[in-house]
Amino acid sequence: MMSGYEQRIRRSVALLQEASTVTAFSGAGISTESGLSDFRSPGGVWDRYRVVTYQEFLASAEARKEYWRMKHALFDELKHARPNRAHRALAALERAGKLEHLITQNIDGLHQEAGNAPERVVELHGTNRKALCLDCGKAWPIEQIDAILEAVGFDPPCDACGGPVKPATVSFGQAMPETEMLRACAQAAGCDLLLMLGSSLQVEPAASIPRLAHSEGARLIFVNRTETPQDHLATVLFREDIGQVLHDLVARFGAPPWEGS
């Protein structure tokens, strides 16, 4: 007798084959296999450091120092992280001409490192791969800023104007990037299959993406370890490991093999 998992994989392959426009939506759960902490999990970053809002970052040198200490710890994880099976599977789907868009809540840049074209990836919460001066807009590779954090007391000033420097990520209390949000909404509304991968769907407005796709008639495949408020919208629901599910789905679909498969 066919297992429930096998039935769901076959159903998902059929949905993938039938779809004309496929969009993926990823959250922190897709990167845990790469060794990156899920912020909300026990022992995650929010357990170890105080959350600093954008307003606090602008107003207080001490808040900026607390923020940068947290980021410094994250960068140590990031520099050792590599794309995992789930990232590589999505890159394989793109190479096969099946994945049209990739919307991510993640700030780690691993989708692009795995081979997804940067122009197809919408980073809703920005990226940890670079830092920006909030006054003049000068940009640096994050490695350059990270290397001087301890020397400048974890409050790096812009070397062009003296303004505050911050990773190019969206903090609590900071406005979402309008261009990226509009692109993501258009992609969700225009797809006929959405892969929701590793998000708790608790952070708005990003959590509205699956709801929008469903309201416009898309089928939804959810792959997430824990329950979400939108599980009832899913056509197919997986609680299994994201890397394994995507590996099996892409292999059955017949996309070209990827390194490390």
> SS3 of 112, please?
helix
* pLDDT one-digit tens code per residue, 202-244: 888 999 999 999 999 999 999 999 999 999 999 999 999 999 9
Do 165 and 184 fall into the same domain?
no
Do 101 and 216 fall into the same domain?
yes
Rounded to a whole number, what is the largest CA-CA distance in the chain?
68
Helix H or strand E encompassing 243: helix 242-253
Asked about 125 being catalytic, the answer comes back as yes
**Amino acid identity for residue 128 in this structure:** N
Higher pLDDT, 79 or 151: 151
C-alpha–C-alpha distance, residues 15 and 19, integer Å: 6
- Our count of domains for the chain comes to 2
Dump strand ranges (E) for 112-235. 121-123, 126-133, 139-141, 165-169, 193-197, 219-223
* pLDDT one-digit tens code per residue, 108-147: 999 999 999 999 999 999 999 999 999 999 999 999 999 9
Higher pLDDT, 181 or 1: 181
**pLDDT of 258:** 52
Do 71 and 197 fall into the same domain?
no
Q: Which of 141, 169, 197 is the last residue of a domain?
A: 169
Do 148 and 134 fall into the same domain?
yes
CATH number at residue 135: 3.30.1600.10
- Say if residue 51's pLDDT is above 50: yes
User: Confidence band (pLDDT; 50, 70, 90) for 261?
Assistant: very low
> CB of 9 within 8 A of CB of 252?
yes
* pLDDT one-digit tens code per residue, 55-107: 999 999 999 999 999 898 888 788 888 999 999 999 999 999 999 999 999 99
C-alpha–C-alpha distance, residues 163 and 183, integer Å: 30
**Amino acid identity for residue 251 in this structure:** A
Do 212 and 256 fall into the same domain?
yes
- Say if residue 46's pLDDT is above 80: no
Do 248 and 198 fall into the same domain?
yes
**Angle formed at CA 93 by CA 90 and CA 95, multiple of 5 degrees:** 110
- Say if residue 172's pLDDT is above 60: yes
Q: Which two tokens stand for residue 46?
A: 């929010």
Do 89 and 218 fall into the same domain?
yes
Higher pLDDT, 261 or 45: 45
Do 57 and 109 fall into the same domain?
no
* pLDDT one-digit tens code per residue, 177-195: 999 999 999 999 999 999 9
Choice among 87, 101, 111, 125 that is catalytic: 125
C-alpha–C-alpha distance, residues 94 and 238, integer Å: 22
C-alpha–C-alpha distance, residues 35 and 116, integer Å: 20
Do 88 and 114 fall into the same domain?
yes
**What is the domain extent for residue 243?**
1-35+83-125+176-261
Q: Which of 113, 144, 169 is the last residue of a domain?
A: 169
- Say if residue 260's pLDDT is above 50: no
Do 54 and 97 fall into the same domain?
no
- Say if residue 26's pLDDT is above 70: yes
The bridge status of strand 219-223 relative to strand 99-104 is unpaired
Do 185 and 113 fall into the same domain?
yes
